[in-house]
Amino acid sequence: MAKFYESISDDLREFIAAQHIFFVATAPLSAEGHVNVSPKGMDSLRVLSPNRVAYLDLTGSGNETSAHVRENSRITLMVCAFDGAPNIVRLYGKGRSVLPDTTEWGGFCEMFPRYPGARQVIVVEVERVQTSCGYAVPLFDYVSDRDTLVKWAEHKGEDGLTEYHREKNWCSIDGLPTPLAEGK
- Looking at the chain, the whole-number percentage of residues with pLDDT higher than 90 is 96
Predicted TM-score (pTM) of the model is 0.95
Residue 182 has pLDDT above 90, yes or no: no
By the 8 A CB rule, do 77 and 24 touch? yes
For position 139, which CATH number holds? 2.30.110.10
- pLDDT of 119 reads 95
Residue span of the structural domain in which 44 resides: 3-183
By the 8 A CB rule, do 81 and 89 touch? no
Give the distance, in angstroms, between the CA of residue 146 and the centroid of all CA atoms in the same chain.
17
Residue 184 has pLDDT above 90, yes or no: no
Residue 170 CB contacts under 8 Å (≥ 6 apart), including other chains: 63, 177, 178, 180, 181
- Over residues 114-136, the mean pLDDT reads 97
| Mean predicted lDDT score pLDDT of the chain | 96
Number of folded domains in the chain? Answer: 1
By the 8 A CB rule, do 46 and 113 touch? no
Residue 132 bridge partners (DSSP): 88
